[in-house]
Amino acid sequence: MANKLNLDIPNLYARFASPICEVDCGQICREFNASGKPFCCDICVAVPVALKEEWTYLKANTHLWHKLRGDECPQDPIDKEKMQAETPNYMHLMACKGPAYCERDFRTLSCRQFPFFPYITADDRLIGLTYNWDFEEVCWVINNLDRVSDRYRQEFLDIYDNLLFEHPGEYDSYYWLSEDMRERFIKVQRSIPILHRDGGYYLLDPKTDEISPVDPSDFPKFGAYKE
């Protein structure tokens, strides 16, 4: 059944506008990307998505975005059909003009949330933020979780508490992404880092969803960010 949502996109954007941390993380991670772009703004590395309601708003207000064609990364053309099949039907695959032309107010929710997603336990509790593990090797934020501001964490949770309540498809999508992460981390015998809604930092046992407090400086580091 088609979703009939009445999402107030400018309101969501206004409530989710704080930077992740005090430093411009893109200026750090781009040093490690051959293209010179922050990894999450490089279409050859990450393809943004937008809710259909976001695209309706964005196309009326900015020329920053277009729907993904598939040829935006000439050295590694994107298999758009395959990617579309893996994307919820209420989302569009998108491409922007690139970081040199970014318009902060018109970033999609997928830009604003990166590298995080709402972690939902097996028994249906959205307890906090975790991250997209595919980017552990390249994303400075993932390697510096203690630098994420309390304000960003709070805005993130306010938005996703609201959005996942209003949008059951999004809830299911993040529930199953959390489940994928549990399966993956059980396989590699790792705990899942959590920026909890209580303000604390935890490691979560993916077999039980039990959390243990941790000093954030003890979270593992990866790739070029290892000491």
Task: Compute the distance between CA of residue 86 and CA of residue 25 in angstroms, rounded to an integer.
Answer: 29
- List all residues 6 or more positions away from 195 whose beta carbon is below 8 Å from its beta carbon: 116, 128, 129, 130, 145, 148, 153, 201
Nearest to 106 by CA among 21, 14, 7: 14
Site string for ligand SF4, 3-22 (x = CB under 6 A): --------------------
- List all residues 6 or more positions away from 69 whose beta carbon is below 8 Å from its beta carbon: 80, 95
Q: How many residues bind ligand SF4 (CB under 6 A)?
A: 18
Q: Which stretch binds ligand SF4 (CB under 6 A): 107-115, 147-155, 192-200, 207-215?
A: 107-115
DSSP at 208 = T
Task: Compute the distance between CA of residue 95 and CA of residue 43 in angstroms, rounded to an integer.
Answer: 7
Which of residues 152 and 160 has its CB atom nearest to ligand SF4 in the complex? 152
Residues 139-158 that bind ligand SF4 (CB under 6 A): 139-141
Which of residues 41 and 211 has its CB atom nearest to ligand SF4 in the complex? 41
From the CB of residue 37, how many other CB atoms can be counted at a distance below 10 Å? 18
Residues 34-73 that bind ligand SF4 (CB under 6 A): 38-41, 48
* Residue 216 interacts with ligand SF4 (CB under 6 A): yes or no: no
Which of residues 112 and 197 has its CB atom nearest to ligand SF4 in the complex? 112
Residues in contact with ligand SF4 by the rule CB under 6 A: 25-26, 29, 38-41, 48, 96, 99, 102, 107, 111, 114-115, 139-141
